[in-house]
Chains A and B, each alone.
Chain A
């Protein structure tokens, strides 16, 4: 399809794209909080990648002599009952958080976005079926649904990922559905039809790219929500396989020694909050920079 490769819209897009990017940068970096969030996320990413170099101790190896050590020179944030260094476990926990967050967002969006496009674009029966199922899924509070699914599937982090993905699919379907409904009324979609592009091509080549700004914002914010939900699940003891380090489970472990060493519980909770806050801030910044009209909607 050589002729369809060069279209009028391609020529029109070249010029504004440059200034579009500049505008994006200007708005995105204009708020201190957004920049702060970005820095936190970059640090988090580096922490997760270089965990092995950064962690002062082996996060999994019990050291009986250091059981419940107070924060100090040897253990910056103290250590748990088995004598494992809190800081090292905190550093390794960033891997769990990021892995769960990114994989779940990936799975949920790969399933949810096409469902939303198909429902919005084809309308009729497919629309009713898909959207009502999404409504039904949305009746379950996210934490509750993922808790039950993860519990039924059995222990293990991969089951937590599946559970969280299923629980967040409707969000993507709904947003994509809404955007698709408004995009499909545009003349350029009609033009694509006239030029003979089929269903699939219209949906995924022409509607999907236009639905991208709100979806990118949604994904960023969901990363934060997922990390928060995963922390909640692991706090309850779902999906953790000892000796793996998860922040929520660490808060729960430390809860028992609250009077003896509150840092055990306080530190991982602060880490969760900081990371969720950062994802929210970056999401906010992306929303303002990509499409200010989304304010209040996402």
Chain B
């Protein structure tokens, strides 16, 4: 087990390095002078006198070989220095520290909702296979994985916000300032972020459970005279969770991807919205930093998922 974890950590480190390379070089695909990443929009650079451009290039180290530039950039990141936003005139790390908590708050709530509701719904559908509960849950899971989240958001804003006036239609208030308002504000965004996870987890849970309950040890549990609740919860649940856990790892990426759309629809000042506005503001230092941090989070979560297999399934030997 320890060897496996060490090997997995090394592998993750390599992937992390590749991630930094990808992020760095994607930004260099920008047409024109790489100065636009650090200083200003391309039109502004064209208007500058050439000496000035050269001076700026030197200041940002852009006159050095590209690999040196890459290592400088990476060195700064590991010291927590992501650069300065050209639009906000602020440290990118400060911007991210303000906005990441909001995205993480919504994301964590959505993740928990997705995991709990998904597993319960899938369990119910599997145990009551062919009964009405299954007939309701299974088609809904198909809707859940195909619905465009931004459209779902708009539908809910129309129904619960504009027509019924049950919930506020946009914005985000800190839960420490006004917990009740915050809770009402995050209901719809969380539903949007969680719907895919709920549906995907439920689907996976249902099929995994149906697979597991056919196995011999479950028959043994039945023949020992155990009640249904005990057979399912004590014996079948843990084994059928394994494929669902993998999916939850993927779900984290989906939640971050969704936050870009959901924060735009509900005007929530999180990183997703910051990313979109920075793209349109050509504020590439911010784009670069957010992309990197999100990829790093996804990497770590998937590492944790891989390692947690051992707890759920001791049969996995980690060769």
Contact = CB atoms under 8 A, between A and B. Distances in A.
Interface of A: 33, 132-133, 135-145, 147-149, 151-154, 224, 228, 231-232, 235-238, 248, 251-252, 255, 258-259, 262, 265-266, 269-270, 272-273, 276-277, 280-281, 295-296
A296 B276 contact: no
A259 B162 contact: yes
Contact of A144 (B27, B31, B150, B256): B256
B261 A273 contact: no
A237 B253 CA distance: 22
Interface in B273-296: 275-276, 279-280, 284, 287, 291, 294-296
B226 interface: no
A152 B30 contact: yes
A247 B216 CA distance: 50
Across the A-B interface, the 4 shortest Cβ-Cβ residue pairs: A269-B151, A141-B257, A136-B18, A143-B257
Interface of B: 11, 14-15, 18-19, 21-22, 26-27, 29-31, 142-143, 145-151, 154-155, 157-158, 162, 204, 207-208, 211, 243, 253-254, 256-258, 260-261, 264-265, 275-276, 279-280, 284, 287, 291, 294-296, 298-299, 302
A140 B15 contact: no
9 contacts: A135-B11, A139-B302, A152-B27, A232-B148, A235-B261, A235-B264, A266-B155, A269-B148, A296-B211
Contact of A139 (B15, B265, B279): B15
Nearest to B301: A139
Given A132-B11, A258-B154, A259-B162, 16 more contacts: A132-B15, A133-B18, A136-B295, A139-B299, A141-B254, A141-B257, A143-B260, A144-B256, A145-B291, A149-B26, A232-B148, A232-B150, A265-B151, A269-B150, A276-B148, A296-B243
B204 A296 contact: yes
Nearest to A297: B243
A295 to B, nearest CB: 6
Contacts of B26: 148-149, 152
A238 B157 CA distance: 23
Nearest to B18: A136
Nearest to B162: A259
A135 B254 CA distance: 16
A137 B22 contact: yes
B282 to A, nearest CB: 9
Nearest to A151: B279
A232 B208 CA distance: 31
A201 to B, nearest CB: 31
B28 to A, nearest CB: 9
Contact of B143 (A151, A153, A266, A277): A277
Contact of A228 (B21, B146, B243): B146
